Amino acid sequence: MNKFFEFDYYKQKLWEKYQSCSDGTAEMEEKMKERFNHSIGVVDMAIELIRIHNLPIDEEKAKICAILHDYAKYCSMEEFQSIKEEFNVDVEVIPEYKKVLHALLGGYIVKKELGIEDEDILKAIETHSTANSNMSPLQEIIYLADCVEAGRSGEYFANIRKIARKNYKKAIAIFLRDCIERILSDKTKNLHPYTLNAFEEYKKYLLSGENKYEQVLSALDHNLIKEVKVYDVRNSSPYFEYIIVATTASSRQMQACVNYLKDDFDIRGAEIGDAWSLIDLNDIIVHIFKEEERERYGIDRLYASYPVVK
């Protein structure tokens, strides 16, 4: 990395780059401001995650990488082709990959125009959009910070941010899974192989393995539940593997149970009530009842034909 310049220098360079790509219209100027503010948000989120998880990452390097991750966002296909040829990069410059070329070739553009040669920064810029296998801690944090910075609004991003603050590798796995699902369901989009490579590595951080129901019970182990039964439905249901039924003493304790599950897992759906709550953890369903309601609903009679594993 060029040691003569500090973060503010590269922040100014990003703004100048965006201005050079603008057509001068009010609409484009607003878009540039939004993109610039997004990069500031990525800086803030990257530093927050580094500090929360006490990661061995140079904060100044992370700030420079985060502010420059979208430096090539508005380059043309012709510019990408020129960079590919100049640096002899094995990247397909095709319309199907237009949305990720600013990442895949962005490091080379940053290197050429700003003189940055730090490989950690250049690789993190390269993978910030697609992710990849064997990412360094800096690559992981820049990818995740780009995904969950505070400017991305809505319940989905709020939930991923919450998970990222507790288990950043799990948050990466969840975002990769959801990204792949979105792209595969949209016939107009192409999935880059780097993203599949990344998910193959990070999917282990999702709820998985023979003891997956134990992970759920561990999250609920706050003296909140009793009379726990775990039903094994792997041979009976194409959608779920286990069904957990438990009893809690009050609506307040039930809500606490739901909050613990939200903290630790990616919840696909939930029906929260005063007497009965149902939480969908993808391949595990959790039922939590107040004491007097469990018998009335007869949930255990419904599942009586399934093996009980706990």
- Check whether residue 117 and residue 243 sit in a common domain: no
- Check whether residue 112 and residue 224 sit in a common domain: no
- For 86-96, what is each residue's pLDDT tens digit? 999 999 998 88
- Check whether residue 221 and residue 198 sit in a common domain: no
Is the pLDDT at 1 greater than 60, yes or no?
A: no
Mean pLDDT over residues 246-258, rounded?
A: 90
Q: Which residue has the higher pLDDT, 21 or 38?
A: 38
Distances (CA, A) of 26 to 15, 37, 53, 108, 221: 16, 16, 41, 30, 55
Mind giving me the DSSP string for 160-206? HHHHHHH-HHHHHHHHHHHHHHHHHH-TT----HHHHHHHHHHGGGS
- For 159-196, what is each residue's pLDDT tens digit? 899 889 988 998 999 999 999 999 998 877 788 999 99
Q: Looking at residue 4, what is its pLDDT? A: 46
- Check whether residue 233 and residue 184 sit in a common domain: no
For residue 101, give both structure tokens: 């070329």
Q: Looking at residue 210, what is its pLDDT? A: 61
- Check whether residue 105 and residue 157 sit in a common domain: yes
Mean pLDDT over residues 199-212, rounded?
A: 78
Residue 310 domain-assigned? no
- For 262-277, what is each residue's pLDDT tens digit? 877 778 788 988 899 9
- Check whether residue 160 and residue 234 sit in a common domain: no
- For 111-132, what is each residue's pLDDT tens digit? 999 999 999 999 999 999 999 9
- Check whether residue 274 and residue 238 sit in a common domain: yes
Whole domain around residue 14: which residue ranges?
A: 7-205
pTM of the full structure: 0.73
Residue 219 domain-assigned? yes
- Check whether residue 184 and residue 219 sit in a common domain: no
What's the chain's Rg over C-alpha atoms? Answer: 23
- Check whether residue 159 and residue 252 sit in a common domain: no
- Check whether residue 61 and residue 127 sit in a common domain: yes
Which CATH number does the domain housing residue 29 bear?
1.10.3210.10
Element (H, E) at 46: helix 26-52
- Check whether residue 22 and residue 164 sit in a common domain: yes
Q: Looking at residue 195, what is its pLDDT? A: 96
Residue 2 domain-assigned? no
**Mean of the per-residue pLDDT values for the chain?**
90
Overall domain count for the chain:
2
For residue 166, give the nearest of 240, 260, 233 by alpha carbon.
Answer: 260
Q: Looking at residue 270, what is its pLDDT? A: 87
